[in-house]
Structure 1
Amino acid sequence: MEQVHGRFRIVPDDYHVPYAGTAEDGRKFFLSDELFGSGAAYVGLFLWKADGTFDEVKVDEVRRPEGVPPGQAASAGADQLVASRLAELGKYVLEPIDVAPFAVDRNGVTFGWVGTEYEGTYSLHIEPGDFIAYYEPWDGLEYDT
C-alpha cells in the first residue's frame, strides 16, 4: 500500500474532469459543477499555487438537479456560473496538473481531496460528493466513480 507522497495528478477528460489545468497566472485549477452534499449542490473552483500547494477554494451553492438519486453526481446545470469561474482564470490551458491533497471547511461542508484507507488500499477522493477517487500510481489516468 502506497500513500500519495505530496502530489497526485488530475488529468482532464470528458467525464467528471472537464476542467483541470493551468490558469493565466500560473496557478493550477480544477473546476466542477458536480459537487454535492445532502440536499445541496455546489460549483467549486479548487486552486493551487504554481508549485502545486493549496491556494484557495471558491464555492457557490446551487440547486441540486431534480430527479438525481442521492449519492450520484450530476451537473448542476449552472453553465453561466461555470463560464464566469473559467473567465476568472484568464487565458487557461487544459492539461494534467500535479497537486497536493487538501481539505477545507466551508459552512460545515468539507471541500478538497481527502485521503482514506479501506481494506489496505489508500485513495484520494473529492469532497463533497466522493464521486471521484484516485489510487496509486497517482497518474490521474484512471479513477473510480
Structure 2
Amino acid sequence: MTDGPPTRIAIDHDDYHAEHVGHTADGRQFFLTTPFEPAGDDGGGAEFVALFLFAADGRFVEARIDAFGPRDGMDQVAARETYDARLAELGDVTFARIEVEPFAVERFGTTFGLIPEPPEDEDDGWWVILEPGDYMAFTAPWDSGGYDT
C-alpha cells in the first residue's frame, strides 16, 4: 500500500483516450477529452467536451468544459466542432507525455477531474480516476504514464 495520493501523475500520449495530451507553445500542459455521465435506468446521462490546462510544472490552472446533454439526443456535429475548436484555441501544440497534479472542479452539477481515490482495504493502493465516466484509471507507479480503462 502507498502512503497517500500522488502529487503528480504521468499520462503518455496514445491513440486512444490520451490522443490529445501534450504541451502548448508557451509551455503549458493540456488534456483534451470527452468525459460522460453514464445513463442510468431512468435515462439521463450527459456528454461533455473538457479541456484541462496545467502550468508547465503540472499545477492545475483551468478547466474549460462544454455540456451536450444525453448521448441519444446530442448534437454530434456541435460536439465535434467544439472539440476541434478547443484544440485549435491552444495554437501550436506538441502531443506528448504530460505530468500533472490531480484535481477536481464542479461544473453542471458534476465533479470533473483526475480524482484521487483511497484504498478500499489495507492491501490496496491509491487510484486516480478521470471523472466523470471513470474511463481512465491510474495507479502507482505514478510516473509510468499508462492507465487502465
TM range (shorter): 0.7 to 0.9
What's 1:58 paired with? 64
Contact kept in structure 2, 1:25 and 1:89, CA below 8 Å: no
Q: Per-residue displacement from partner, 1:70-126 (whole Å, max 9, x unpaired)? A: xxxxxx663211110011111000000111100011132111110112332210000
Aligned length: 136
Q: Percent identity?
A: 41
How much has 1:142 moved relative to structure 2? 2.5
Deviations 1:40-77 (A, max 9, x none): 110000111111101000000124433xxxxxxxxx66
CA 1:101–1:51 in 2, change beyond 3 Å: closer, same or farther? same
Show structure 2 runs of 5+ residues with no match.
40-44
Structure-1-length-normalised TM-score: 0.85
Give the equivalent residue in structure 1 for 2:137: 133
- Distance in 1 of aligned mates of 2:12 and 2:146: 9
Counterpart CA distance in 2 for 1:32 and 1:136 is 22
Give 1:139's aligned amino acid.
D
Runs (5+) with no aligned partner, structure 1: 67-75
State the partner residue of 1:46: 52
Q: When you count strand as a share of all residues, which structure comes out higher? A: 1
What's 2:114 paired with? 113
1:17 to partner: Cα distance: 1.1
Q: Specify the SS of the correspondent of 1:121.
A: coil
